[in-house]
Amino acid sequence: MTAVHEDDIVLGALRISLVRKRVKNVHLTVHPPEGRVTLVAPENTRPEVARAYAISKLAWIRQQQATLKTQARETPRQFRERESHELWGRRHLMTVQETDAKPCVKLDHKRITLMVRPGHDQAKRAEVIHDWHKALLHGLVPQLIAKWEPKLGVRVEGYFLQRMKTRWGSCNHRAGNVRLNTELVKKPKDLVEYVVVHEMLHLLEPTHNDRFVALLDRHWPQWREARKELNALPLGS
């Protein structure tokens, strides 16, 4: 089992999570959407060495965080008539119908019809849409996993969908599970596939080290463009 030790490097208002692992090189990452910073370093790295490295990269960190701050964010959705909603990278208009039946959602070309009981508030409408989003992802993700398991030579024991504030996905390589952000339903399907492949590759290499980059280069050569496009799209509020 690889030992993992976590600590913090505090530079004024900036807090960097220092993670010591069995790796050869230092890896500094600014994570979308909020600009969280992690520094992965070899297990024997002294705190003062890690801190000095972080200081040397301050300008780069601030530039990356500034880019994320200027990134478009979705206006909070009200789930009302003629409101626009993103689905698989395309904009759809919403129609709301009140009916004394079980709430549901229907998709017709570029129109989303939300059917709710009279008096259902915004929170309930949001819950109905979120459940629909998860159902759509459940219809896509297993296909992507089945497509890539033989290509990567891995087996995904299970996947989970949930709202995630700071990342598009994660992987528990020991359990063989991947976790995906339900906000991905708003992104083009090729970008959803990129995230799935990215997390599945962590079953082969749990860290973002040189080996992981090489695996990405081999299996998804356009990953840099995909990552840039994904992070440039509007974020959920």
Query: What percentage of the chain reaches a pLDDT higher than 70?
Result: 92
Let me know whether 44 and 120 are in one domain.
no
Q: Output the DSSP codes for 15-63.
A: EEEEEEES-SS-EEEEETTTTEEEEEEETT--HHHHHHHHHHTHHHHHH
Specify the pLDDT at position 22.
Answer: 83
Q: How many independent structural domains does the chain possess? A: 2
Domain boundary residue, one of 46, 70, 94: 70
Q: Does residue 52 form part of some domain?
A: yes
pLDDT tens track for 143-157: 999 999 999 999 999
CA–CA separation, 41 vs 19, rounded Å?
6
Specify the pLDDT at position 3.
Answer: 38
Q: Does residue 77 form part of some domain?
A: no
CATH number of the domain to which 221 belongs:
3.30.2010.10
Let me know whether 62 and 118 are in one domain.
no
Let me know whether 46 and 95 are in one domain.
no
Residue 141 burial (C-beta neighbours within 10 Å; 0-12, 13-18, 19+): buried
Q: Enumerate residues 6+ apart whose C-beta is below 8 A from 119.
A: none
Q: Does residue 78 form part of some domain?
A: no
Q: Does residue 76 form part of some domain?
A: no
Query: What percentage of the chain reaches a pLDDT higher than 90?
Result: 59
pLDDT tens track for 2-30: 333 457 899 988 999 998 888 888 889 88
Three-state DSSP class for residue 82:
coil
Intervals of the chain under pLDDT 50:
1-5, 237
Let me know whether 65 and 99 are in one domain.
no
Mean of the per-residue pLDDT values for the chain?
88
* Domain housing 35: 5-70
pTM: predicted TM-score of the whole model, two decimal places = 0.71
Specify the pLDDT at position 104.
Answer: 93
Alpha carbon distances (Å) from 129 to 37, 84, 155: 32, 13, 31
Let me know whether 208 and 155 are in one domain.
yes
Let me know whether 115 and 193 are in one domain.
yes
Let me know whether 109 and 217 are in one domain.
yes
Q: How many residues are there in the chain?
A: 237
Angle between helix 47-56 and 58-70 (nearest 10): 60
Q: Which of 114, 47, 48 minimizes the C-alpha distance to 77?
A: 114
